[in-house]
């Protein structure tokens, strides 16, 4: 099994990166809303430990994925116009940006509210900022805006994948599947 992409195909490693992060993101969105909706209780704290731990896992994965991507061949875009190609690259770039901005803003929110992050109840993460109420509100706001941009771009992203697969018949979705 080759880990390298070709100009035609994604390697199993690229596919694994894509679908593992997709799975984590699909868990993270409802989990974040659920965590926020709970009243302060041991359950709320536990749900937040899961949310922060899985979110930091996304952060780690996306850093490794981007470092790997710099050195990789990228399959030729399945676009039928220059504009489509630009829009697809922009959407992918924004998705990568959000996968960095969400964990970072979440980490700042937790640190600024003096609620240090402990990964899976085991590994304490250092606080990246000191306790700061004003910063906490801004970071939480940024986190929330990122969530809504993420949901909007994902609707377009998934819609585009389905359109390519079902209407344009270029097997875009099949190409990303194992």
Give, in order, the Cα–Cα distances in Å from 129 to each of 1, 115, 146, 151.
Answer: 43, 11, 20, 28
Residue whose pair of structure tokens reads 């949310």 in the numeric block? 51
Task: Choose one: 39-47, 100-108, 127-135; the region binding ligand HEM (CB under 6 A).
Answer: 100-108
* x-marked contacts with ligand HEM along 37-76 as a string, rule CB under 6 A: --------------xx--xx-x----------x----xx-
What lies within 8 Å, CB to CB, of 82 at 6+ separation is none
Residue pair 109/131 in contact by the 8 Å Cβ criterion: no
33 binds ligand HEM (CB under 6 A): yes
SS3 of 139, please? helix
Residue pair 77/88 in contact by the 8 Å Cβ criterion: yes
101 binds ligand HEM (CB under 6 A): no
Task: Choose one: 38-46, 126-134, 157-165; the region binding ligand HEM (CB under 6 A).
Answer: 157-165
Binding-site ranges for ligand HEM (CB under 6 A): 18, 21-22, 25, 28-29, 32-33, 36, 51-52, 55-56, 58, 69, 74-75, 77-78, 92, 95-96, 99, 102-103, 106-107, 109-110, 117, 140, 143-144, 147, 154, 157-158, 161, 172-173, 175-176
């Amino acid at each position: 099994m080759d880990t390298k992409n070709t100009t035609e195909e994604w390697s199993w490693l690229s596919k694994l990166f894509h679908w593992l992060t997709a799975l984590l993101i699909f868990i993270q969105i409802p989990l974040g809303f659920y965590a926020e909706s709970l009243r302060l209780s041991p359950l709320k704290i536990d749900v937040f430990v899961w949310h922060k731990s899985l979110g930091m896992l996304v952060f780690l994965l996306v850093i490794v994925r981007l470092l790997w991507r710099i050195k990789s061949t990228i399959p030729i875009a399945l676009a039928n116009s220059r504009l489509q190609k630009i829009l697809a690259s922009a959407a992918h770039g924004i998705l990568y940006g959000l996968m960095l901005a969400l964990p970072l803003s979440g980490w700042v929110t937790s640190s600024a509210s003096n609620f240090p992050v402990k990964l899976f109840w085991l590994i304490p993460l250092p606080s990246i900022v000191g306790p700061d109420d004003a910063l906490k509100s801004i970071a939480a706001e940024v986190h929330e805006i990122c969530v809504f941009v993420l949901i909007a771009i994902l609707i377009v992203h998934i819609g585009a994948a389905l359109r390519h697969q079902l209407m344009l018949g270029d097997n875009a979705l099949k190409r990303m599947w194992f």
